Amino acid sequence: MRRAFLFLALAIFLASCRTTRPAGEETPVAPLTSASPTDAARQLAARRAQLTGERSLLRMRITNRGQTLSVRAQLQIDGSGRMLLTAYTPFGTNAIRLYAAGDEVTFINDFESTWWHGSASDFARSFGFFGSASPSAMALLIVGLPAEGVTIDYAPAGIAHASAGDAVISFDPPSYPPKNVTIVRGAQKLEIETLESVMTTASVAKPEASADYRCCVAPRL
């Protein structure tokens, strides 16, 4: 019985570490060579313009309405502006999938077998965590790159602070790629630790909900 329990615990641990790596060539993200905030802004704008894609493995701590949840996640961005954030259960299966391409947003709650599709503004009103930023813009900020519609303060090594409406984004330390990013909006807080970040040539595919998932349930955590 003890051996069977240890085997089960090991299987659960290995599953919790499993993520799906998209096809494509990957290279490490190189830090900036800037020596001033102005130079950092220039270099980051250039990297944003030349972006082919980026993939980051994250550990996220979510605080909302007095409750806290910690999850592992993967964030993918491609050169066409598409993004996919996948949060995983402790067993390594999908918990939620958030996809955005321009003004189109799809939110799939695999944990509760529901899904939703709508505009970025509709998503902002329902989800709330990202303030006035679209999911695509917030994805760029999470990987340390500038985004449209966001106010940014730079440090010599990367972004220091940003704001999107009533959402405040802090980088500790200010660096590229980021190490720790915190998004605060009222009583809501999203703390993100980057475990791995690579450049990639892989494209982001739109996820599909299972046929038995219930449609049109508003996004929430």
Q: What pLDDT tens digit does each residue of the chain (221 aa) get? A: 444 443 444 444 444 444 555 566 899 999 999 999 999 999 999 999 999 999 999 999 999 888 999 999 999 999 999 999 999 999 999 999 999 998 999 999 999 999 999 999 898 888 877 888 999 999 999 999 999 989 999 999 999 999 999 999 999 999 999 999 999 999 899 999 999 999 999 999 999 999 999 999 988 76
C-alpha–C-alpha distance, residues 3 and 202, integer Å: 41
Residue 169 neighbours by CB under 8 Å, 6+ apart: 141, 150, 161, 162, 163, 181, 182, 183, 184
Q: What number of residues does the chain have?
A: 221
Whole-number Å distance between alpha carbons of 103 and 96 = 19
Question: Around Cβ 161, how many Cβ atoms within 10 Å?
Answer: 14
Res 21: pLDDT: 58
pLDDT for position 121 = 87
Question: The domain 32-207 belongs to what CATH superfamily?
Answer: Lipoprotein localisation LolA/LolB/LppX (2.50.20.10)
pLDDT of residue 11: 44
pLDDT at 68: 94
Q: What is the pTM of this model?
A: 0.87
63-194-199 Cα angle (round to 5): 135
Q: Where are the domains of the chain?
A: 32-207
Helix (H, G, I), strand (E, B) or coil at 26: strand
